[in-house]
Structure 1
């Protein structure tokens, strides 16, 4: 697998082009990035727009705009700084637009994150639409929020939520009613059921059971998906792990690839006798616990952009229940925000 592209594997399954129609019955989440701004809309119809300082500028700052689907939904806004660059216990952060003070935002002392008021949010949106300078000040420091790319992602949000040409649009507003804008849907639920936690079994990669499993898995897998399986370029401490799911099923974990600062495991659902592959789940997993497979991948070595995914056992198979990423690597460890394109409410049945 091309290591530079592996981050994207998590995001292809549910992403569709933003210009495509969106079904009221089943909303398909998607992601878009332009210049210093990015947007992710999820399967409930909620969109999250994040903006940052211009590339190469410091100190780091980010603003998150969030809006649910629906005619009456309003935009909320939060601002976040790198906690190491701002002592929030000393004084609040001040917002300036065109040199005029628009009031203060009190930041959390630990996270350096704060909520804008409704009036400040409206002023901020107006400034973004007009490409006006947005400056934040505090502790004798200045943060410059870039406006480059903001109009493009705001228009994408209006398009996704079917607001263009209506009275609830942020851009291309008109007098048409918002009665037919995208309706919100509730967060879907999945119960982790028919799952019995048990002791895992670990095999050395040269053990007979591991070799038998490799032979079966190769028939259902390509070298691009799991190169280590085919070139046998394993490390000394690599192991094949079998997790019991229930009396009939097991989950097999195999190291699939390594990059400069990432690695990915493959996961296959099999029968308990390890004779039949029932499902290939993912090739970029990071771990398994309590009926869920998790994936956490860094966009670059310093870890300031990330992609995450989750797959949950629903009693019959694994389905993807979470997907989020940030590709704007702007100095926030782990990303400033998680902006998901897929969300589920997952419950482990007792």
Structure 2
């Protein structure tokens, strides 16, 4: 699968250039882990529970996209898991692959490694012993080669040790027996922080489709009169405006402020009754301490009281930011956040997670 050269999402999580507009990206102030760090050909990041992941970055141009993803939860007894992901335009996905480290068969016996396939994605899950062996070999090896009938790919190991050492540091494992790189006998890693528990409140109340359209139209008219530049002024975005009841008194209104090829920016407001003149913008906190009511490709699900969004760095959706919020009855709070700052063919399921929570639905 050919990748477009030169595609890279800017490093600042709070300012992502998408569709020609500078878009503020939501995060929970002081609770979201720092942005992922790049170590040559590898990237690493951790979430609010200190669960960390490291990814190899595929070349900008390749017939087969191949990358390694290592994940390590926090805690003294947690184990690292490692997968190899492959994607291409093959008619029949490979059933096995052969691996080499700098030309030497890996594992040492040179056995073919079984993979599982789903459409054009093939996955090899390493056994714990092979994971440990590959981490140890990465100290000296420069590349991992993958071969199968009709498939050749390479993964650079440059930066892998630095990325894993950084993970050890974030999890306070340096010089402990459970460290990935710098092992020692200095006690044990601390326990993982508690997982935040958020209670989402499903939408209640009634608002007909006709009533919702009328409310959104009235709000758009008011916003245009008050500040013509706040949310676009052409007619086309208004077609996608929506409104939902939050409870017996308040409604959530989403105004589409811009429409691009693969991104739409949405401004969210809470309106009490039909009083659009006193509508309040939803506060989605930012990791710079500010707040915005804008999301990219934001979608609200009334049955769960949750909003999801997916800001694509390019059309195929292999880079950008994705996350979600939950309505608690008084505000929307962050439930999840992940990002990928390099457009290299990495699927969103494998992006670096920066925030996670357990979401319960209020009865």
TM-score, normalized by the shorter chain, greater than 0.5: yes
Does residue 114 of structure 2 align to residue 106 of structure 1? yes
Does residue 313 of structure 2 align to residue 324 of structure 1? no
In structure 2, the partner of 1:127 is 137
Q: CA deviation at 1:138?
A: 1.5
Aligned pairs for 1:189-204 within 5 A: 189-193=197-201, 195-196=203-204, 198-199=206-207, 200=209, 201-203=212-214
Listed as ranges, the gaps of 5+ residues in structure 1 are 17-25
Of 58, 67, 71 in structure 1, the residue corresponding to residue 72 of structure 2 is: 67
In structure 2, the partner of 1:188 is 196
Q: CA deviation at 1:85?
A: 3.6
In structure 2, the partner of 1:235 is 236
Q: CA deviation at 1:237?
A: 5.1
Contact 1:127 1:134 in 2 (8 A): no
C-alpha deviations, 1:93-149, integer Å up to 9, x for none?
222223123144322221411311112111221232334321122124222011133
Of 136, 152, 161 in structure 1, the residue corresponding to residue 162 of structure 2 is: 152
Q: CA deviation at 1:309?
A: 1.3
Aligned pairs for 1:291-310 within 5 A: 291-310=305-324
1:27–1:260: structure 2 CA closer, same or farther, 3 Å change rule? closer
Q: CA deviation at 1:306?
A: 3.5
Does residue 288 of structure 2 align to residue 284 of structure 1? no
The alignment partner of 2:138 has SS state of helix
1:101–1:28: structure 2 CA closer, same or farther, 3 Å change rule? closer
1:71–1:7: structure 2 CA closer, same or farther, 3 Å change rule? farther
Q: CA deviation at 1:234?
A: 4.4
How many residue pairs end up in the alignment? 326
The alignment partner of 2:130 has SS state of helix
Contact 1:241 1:254 in 2 (8 A): yes
Return the structure number with greater relative CO, CA threshold 8 A, min gap 6. 2
Contact 1:127 1:133 in 2 (8 A): no
Contact 1:30 1:42 in 2 (8 A): no
C-alpha deviations, 1:294-343, integer Å up to 9, x for none?
111211233322321111111221001111122232234x4461331111
Of 90, 100, 104 in structure 2, the residue corresponding to residue 96 of structure 1 is: 100
In the alignment, the residues of structure 2 paired with residue 65 and residue 75 of structure 1 have an alpha-carbon distance, to the nearest angstrom, of: 7
In the alignment, the residues of structure 2 paired with residue 135 and residue 279 of structure 1 have an alpha-carbon distance, to the nearest angstrom, of: 49
Contact 1:97 1:132 in 2 (8 A): yes
Contact 1:187 1:344 in 2 (8 A): yes
1:12–1:311: structure 2 CA closer, same or farther, 3 Å change rule? closer
1:248–1:339: structure 2 CA closer, same or farther, 3 Å change rule? same
In the alignment, the residues of structure 2 paired with residue 38 and residue 288 of structure 1 have an alpha-carbon distance, to the nearest angstrom, of: 31
In structure 2, the partner of 1:23 is none
Listed as ranges, the gaps of 5+ residues in structure 2 are 1-14, 285-292
In structure 1, the partner of 2:245 is 244
Q: CA deviation at 1:272?
A: 3.0
In the alignment, the residues of structure 2 paired with residue 212 and residue 6 of structure 1 have an alpha-carbon distance, to the nearest angstrom, of: 24
Contact 1:51 1:62 in 2 (8 A): yes
Of 182, 186, 199 in structure 2, the residue corresponding to residue 172 of structure 1 is: 182
Does residue 165 of structure 2 align to residue 118 of structure 1? no
